[in-house]
Amino acid sequence: MVPIVFQPGLPDRERRLARDCIESVLRAVDPKRALLAHLKHLPKDKPTHVLAFGKASIAMTDGAIEHLGDRFARATVLAPEPLVLEAQFKSKFVALYPCDHPLPTQRNIDATRELIEHARSIPDDHRVIVLISGGASAMLCAPKPRVTLGEIRQTTQDMLKRGAPIEEINSVRSQLDTLKHGGLAHELRQVDDRFVFLLSDVIGDDPSVIASGPMHDAHPPTTPHVIIASNDTALDALAAWCARNEISSPHITRRVVGEVSDAARMLAVQLTASEESPPVAFMLGGEPTVNASGTHGIGGPVLQLGLTTALNLADSPFDWSVLTLTTDGMDGPSQAAGTILTASMLAAPDTRQAIRESLERNDTRTMCDTLGTTIITGPTGTNVNDVAIAIRWPDTTASTPDAASNT
């Protein structure tokens, strides 16, 4: 489990709540465990190659090698540099390349060339499994003729800045890159025996959209695509945490997209309007976005979601807590995993005004640091989008129940 770092001033009760929720979610979407559960029925009757790319590629490759045993032939893995530096594979037949995200770099292109060479060299009587996770569209980068790296970077940056949905970003990437929309499948055309396993970072879990569909070679695809975990998995883990702690969770809003402000308003309204006896929780998951065009603050969608929800709840006549989390541990350029906020933190009018101003500037990391609510994990090695939970507490209960420390 990744280390979870809180700021010194955060109360112990909030630390326990956040730690328990985050660990529950990350355990549920652990890439190695999720992949092994789906590899149980994969035959081990022939040499098998692994091509892996994305934020969870190292853990997924580790699981594949463990399952394959002496049937493992060779792996090429593209992964974030911080995770590459910590990786330790027992097999010498693993080629591991550090790559960058969300904007591709020349080393992404160089690493992709190595992966293509591996793909082309696989004998036709061997098997290949392709392991795909969030960040793969940027890491697997092979520009089309007359398309420059600079053009891909600028296009991606502009779309991210205005909060474009991942479906739109990946659609544009497909027009610039040779490996998108079945391009990698074409490089593996000599191999008939192939499987694709995906840790989904796309709302709806459409294999043709995840990582821009590099193995989605036909309609329907001739290569089996299996989703091993998704945002739904994370939300189900949060619901189970609530059940263990005797917190009613009557509503989960799944597949949330669009503006963060709309998602925050919805979550606050649901909690306020609830007629359930507290403690009661409302949750949402998905990929709400922020249009940060024209601003220069440091922040990201989940920090924005947490602060905006808290501001919507500031005048509520009941005690509440709000926790937001990005499962990959990196909320845009903020380098934060999330935030936890409580009613008492927004008691002062000056604090509320400061939050409003930070939201206008999209400078939410600075605000969360000031409040002492920033949560840091670093790269988690997984990615299934974002989750949020808002809890309404009984009037006689502090912000976090003792039960939250007993999970």
In 29-124, which residue ranges form alpha helices assigned H by DSSP? 31-39, 57-68, 81-86, 106-121
| Segments of the chain assigned to CATH 3.40.1480.10 | 5-28+232-405
- DSSP assignment, residue 342? E
What is the length of the chain?
A: 407
- pLDDT at position 249 is 76
> With respect to CATH, is domain 5-28+232-405 assigned 3.40.1380.10?
no
| Residue 259 DSSP class | B
Gap between the Cα atoms of 407 and 405, Å rounded: 6
pLDDT for 173 equals: 86
Cα Rg of the chain (Å, integer):
22
Distance of CA 335 to the CA centre of its chain: 13
Question: Check: CATH 3.40.50.10180 for 42-229?
Answer: yes
Q: In the numeric block, which tokens belong to residue 324?
A: 């937001």
250: which strand partners?
none
Torsion sign, CA atoms 136, 142, 146, 149 = positive
Residue type for 261, please? S
Domain with CATH 3.40.50.10180 in the chain: 42-229
- The DSSP output letter for 45 is S
CA 105, CA 188: separation in Å to the nearest integer?
24
Q: What is the pLDDT of residue 396?
A: 59
pLDDT given for residue 221 in this prediction:
66
> Is beta strand 386-393 parallel, antiparallel or unpaired with respect to 319-326?
antiparallel
Dist CA 399 CA 69 (whole Å): 49
Closest by CA to 289, choosing from 329, 266, 257, is 257
Adjacent-strand bridge partners of 95: 76
Q: Which residue has the tokens 């090698």?
A: 65
Q: Tell which residue, 139, 225, 230, 143, has the closest CA to residue 185.
A: 225
Query: SS3 for 325?
Result: strand
Query: Distance between CA atoms of 238 and 117, rounded to whole angstroms?
Result: 42
Task: Write down the pLDDT at residue 406.
Answer: 40
Give the integer Cα–Cα distance in Å for 397 and 407: 18
Which phi and psi (to 5°) does residue 128 adopt? -130, 135
Burial letters 119-129, b for 16+ CB under 10 A, else e? beebeeebbbb
> Strands 225-229 and 248-256, how do they pair?
unpaired
pTM for the complete prediction? 0.92
Q: What is the pLDDT along the chain (407 residues), one digit of tens a residue?
A: 899 999 998 999 899 999 999 999 999 999 999 999 999 989 999 999 999 999 999 999 999 999 999 999 999 999 999 999 999 998 999 999 999 988 999 999 999 999 999 999 999 999 999 999 999 999 999 999 999 999 999 999 898 888 887 778 888 888 899 999 999 999 999 999 999 999 999 999 999 899 999 998 766 667 899 999 999 999 999 999 999 999 997 699 999 999 999 999 999 999 999 999 999 999 999 999 988 877 788 999 999 999 999 999 999 999 999 999 999 999 988 899 999 999 999 999 999 999 999 999 999 999 999 999 999 999 999 999 999 999 999 985 444 444 444 43
- Per the rule left: phi > 0, alpha: psi between -120 and 50, beta: everything else, 258 is left
Q: Give the pLDDT score at 402.
A: 46
- Pair 392, 270: CB distance under 8 Å: no
Residue 211: count of CB within 10 angstroms of its CB: 32
